[in-house]
Copies of this chain bind each other. A is one copy, B any other.
Amino acid sequence: MLSEFDLIKHYFNRDRPARATLGIGDDCALLTPTPGMQMAISSDMLVEGRHFFAGAEPYQLGHKSLAVNLSDLAAMGARPVACTLALALPAAERDWLHGFSSGLFALADAHACELIGGDTTKGPRNICITVFGELQPGHALRRDAAQPGDDIWISGTLGDARLALAGYLNEVPLDEASLRAAAVRMHAPTPRVELGMLLARQRLAHAAIDISDGLVGDLGHILARSRVGATLDVDALPAGDVLATRDTALRRAYTAAGGDDYELCFTAPASARAAVLAAAGSVATPVTRVGRIEAAPGLRLVDAGGHALDLKLSSFDHFTS
């Protein structure tokens, strides 16, 4: 049987610390921070049956587990540096570990994010990753920095991850090809790391958040912390390729409050429009202007004609849903 020690050695310890001063295998990892830089830190926990289905494909799960964390660094504008992985597994299965670690390392390598430590134990499947990034002091894209007059921008497209979930749960009829296409967005989200770094480094955006629990709820965090309101043009929200083919009601609901998108929502002054588009173009990330920050509190949803919409949306909450 595979011991805990062998499990770490074979699947997670690559024995070539790059950035870390001391990597896996001691009581702590050691990092030497870049002089003058701030460290951005975030932890996310993914639970089987809640954040992913039992039997989820391990390569995709390894990717997604790190992606949702890198997305938090992106929303801050930080450059990924390192991560730790704590893993509870019902058993040490070689195939699962090979797939999971391969998916995780493929994404980690793409962002030069080094796995420097962690923990493994037996238990109901649970994946807890903590990521570390760096940024210049004062450059962080904070939730409390939106200003009246700012444009509201969204990267990429929204709603296909939620549509895939609806397909799996038979909430919405979805043919197999459509489900497969939408499911890519659910299983393999793309953290917008380069866009976030550029928005921070060029001081283009005021506030940012990553959309994990649905745009309306996540934008609400920016509004609350910045003590501002907003008008959101729901029909301007960029729908995912599969969702774009569905009816208006479904498109509005899932783009506005779908969840699991891991796109960035950020605010930037109107004077920065051309610069935002140029920056996004330079990292091949589409961005769409979808609304405006206003001094009056509250979030006003409108349609393409500017008429108020009452969508009865609710953001996902882990303890009340």
Which of chain B's residues have a CB closer than 8 A to the CB of A28?
Answer: 40-42, 72-73, 75-76, 78, 133, 140
Interface size on A, residues (CB 8 A): 73
Q: Are B318 and A43 in contact (CB under 8 A)?
A: no
Q: Are A3 and B73 in contact (CB under 8 A)?
A: no
Looking at A124-132, A165-173, A301-309, the stretch in contact with chain B turns out to be A124-132
With beta carbons under 8 angstroms apart, the residue of B2, B117, B137 that contacts A32 is B137
Q: Are A318 and B128 in contact (CB under 8 A)?
A: no
Q: Are A3 and B87 in contact (CB under 8 A)?
A: no
* Residue A180 CB within 8 A of the other chain: no
Complex Cα–Cα for A43 and B78 (A): 21
Closest residue on chain B to residue A213 by CB atoms: B4
Which of chain B's residues have a CB closer than 8 A to the CB of A30?
Answer: 38-41, 76, 140
Complex Cα–Cα for A319 and B5 (A): 9
Q: Are A121 and B26 in contact (CB under 8 A)?
A: no
Q: Are A92 and B319 in contact (CB under 8 A)?
A: yes
Closest residue on chain B to residue A73 by CB atoms: B28
Number of chain copies forming the complex: 2
Complex Cα–Cα for A87 and B27 (A): 22
Which of chain B's residues have a CB closer than 8 A to the CB of A318?
Answer: 4, 120-122
* Residue A57 CB within 8 A of the other chain: no
Complex Cα–Cα for A137 and B21 (A): 10
* Residue A84 CB within 8 A of the other chain: yes
Q: Are A123 and B126 in contact (CB under 8 A)?
A: yes
Which of chain B's residues have a CB closer than 8 A to the CB of A144?
Answer: 26
* Residue A51 CB within 8 A of the other chain: yes
Q: Are A117 and B1 in contact (CB under 8 A)?
A: no
